[in-house]
Structure 1
């Protein structure tokens, strides 16, 4: 059903990427999936790098936030077998590498929130934190992690 919804929205999940460092992409415990921070690499490269509000526009950062969602869902699906097992998106934490004085982190991470609601409906509505960061790994403008309730 969720795969059909993705098709209706014209979206494809990228191939899940193994962790680059000493962590696992997803941990499922007691019906809750913790999806590690997703960096929006496309074919191993970041489409945009730098600080949002200086090197990267809000719209470019929103595009990256949407791709973080798709990457996270890809990792989740690889771990649990089907996105139809998602009961609810519980929490999203978005990090925006921000230029001095940039205060539009919520607008950037809204792109991820909006996409999750488009995909999962009311089950996609979630608690959220959107924070500015001085630096992020690989000079990525956006990184997002997720906490998701899944059926046993």
Structure 2
């Protein structure tokens, strides 16, 4: 059902990105998945880079959306069936911002909105959205997640 929803939105889940450092992409403990920070990677390349400002806000929103798609890809790789998601619990969103940029929530909203659109009520979550001085590989955004699943 969830994968049909994703397909109806015209989204093709990419192969989940491999870690850019010494960590694992997902840790499962009990019925929770802790998904490491996902950056906007596609085919092994960061597709949205640079500092976020008022001038490139819409591009940064696409970057956050791509992070959410990569989170979903990591969930699928870990549990196989996206219908096992019982709740998106929390997102932590980081925006590679210029110092005076204050609209980080408008950026991360695009990840939050996509998760709600795909998972419905199960996609509603708690969240932070903060600006940072830099991100790995000069990515515009990075988002991690905590997801509850059923077995």
TM interval, short-chain normalised: over 0.9
TM-score w.r.t. structure 1 length? 0.95
Partner residue, 1:100: 99
Alignment of 1:63-82 (within 5 A): 63-82=62-81
* Cα offset, 1:100, TM superposition: 1.5
C-alpha distance in structure 2 between counterparts of 1:139 and 1:18, whole Å: 17
C-alpha distance in structure 2 between counterparts of 1:38 and 1:44, whole Å: 12
C-alpha distance in structure 1 between counterparts of 2:82 and 2:110, whole Å: 20
C-alpha distance in structure 1 between counterparts of 2:45 and 2:120, whole Å: 31
C-alpha distance in structure 2 between counterparts of 1:48 and 1:112, whole Å: 14
C-alpha distance in structure 2 between counterparts of 1:17 and 1:61, whole Å: 19
TM-score w.r.t. structure 2 length? 0.96
Counterpart check, 1:8 vs 2:32:
no
* Cα offset, 1:45, TM superposition: 2.0
Tell whether the 8 Å contact from 2:25 to 2:36 is kept in structure 1 after alignment: yes
* Cα offset, 1:86, TM superposition: 0.1
Unpaired stretches in structure 1, ≥5 consecutive residues: none
* Cα offset, 1:148, TM superposition: 0.4
Q: Deviations over 1:76-134 (max 9, x none)?
A: 11111111100000000000011020000000000000000000001101000000001
What RMSD over aligned residues (CA atoms) do the two structures have, in Å? 1.2
Partner residue, 1:143: 142
